[in-house]
Chain A
Amino acid sequence: MSPFLLYALVPADQASAAMTAASGVLSAVSEGSIAVLYEERDDPPSGSREQLVTFQKVVSDICRTGPTLPVRFGSVVDDLTEVRDLVHEREEQWRQRLDVVAGHVELVIHARDDTAPRPSPVGRGQGREYLLSRARAQHHAERLYADLVGALGAHCRETRRLTASDEIRVACLVPEAGLETLSILVKRWAEAHEGRHATMTGPWPPFSFTQEDGADELAT
């Protein structure tokens, strides 16, 4: 049986337009008010950069037709019945999320403060000092995050803190008409204090906002 690579969830009445926008490479399976867009393939995706970029472009094309919940890349099923069953089970939840993301895009903001305290190097007999320095750095990062979200939050429908190693990373769900405003606000935020840096990427499909904040991630 051919594998089906899943791309996105859209309102059922949007499926036709979405398939057209995706240059006819996708099909749709509908259950209730939700349609799942998929591609029938000879093989599962290998995960090449080209496939990643293509997937992103297709999902972006779908997004231009209306509210869209992207599916995580690499989601492959052999039987569409299980997709129908899952949509049946989660239709109300996904319909609500489609309402939330409608007319919005995702921006990701990377922020750091070069003046922030840094953890001390680990050395023999310096465990307490190291832990205290880690705590100071963590505390500073938390304040930086709170300050950034405080500055931008009113202009975002929702925000999500993303994992990051040596910086703050925040996903913002922003009205399509609000991109420029948010860009200006981020610039002001960075310029308000010496040592701050901010980078924005996007607009992305709303990958970070397919579920309510704090909801169980796995659809099992």
Chain B
Amino acid sequence: MMTVHEVGSNEDVALVDLIDRLIGGGVVITGDLVLSIANVDLVYLGLQLVLAPAHAVEPSVVLHHGRKPVEG
């Protein structure tokens, strides 16, 4: 069956994208570390702010952990 979810209708996917956009995108300047956000495993890689969503490092992790709906 073919499906298309409208913008923002899938909260699990939206949360993954939210976290990914916030820590995987954006201007990289410098920064501090965050090891875990919203129960999603993250990886801290160095003194410069290089935080990778877990799925960028280990493809299976995010599929099985930490997907929760965005509140509010």
Binding site for B on A (CB under 8 A): 3, 6, 9, 44-49, 52-53, 55-56, 69-77, 82-83, 86, 94, 106-108, 110, 162-166, 171, 179, 183, 186-187, 190-191, 193-205, 207-208, 210-211, 217-220
Contacts and interface: CB of A to CB of B under 8 A. Distances in A.
A195 B1 CA distance: 6
Interface residues of B, number: 47
Nearest to A47: B34
Contact of B21 (A44, A46, A179, A208): A208
A55 B10 CA distance: 21
A205 B25 CA distance: 10
Interface in B35-53: 35-38, 42, 48-51, 53
Interface of B: 2-8, 10, 13-14, 17-38, 42, 48-51, 53, 55-56, 59-60, 62-63, 70-72
Contact of B34 (A45, A106, A194, A205): A45
B31 to A, nearest CB: 4
Q: Which 5 A-B pairs have the closest CB atoms?
A: A207-B25, A47-B34, A72-B26, A165-B59, A75-B31
A187 B17 CA distance: 20
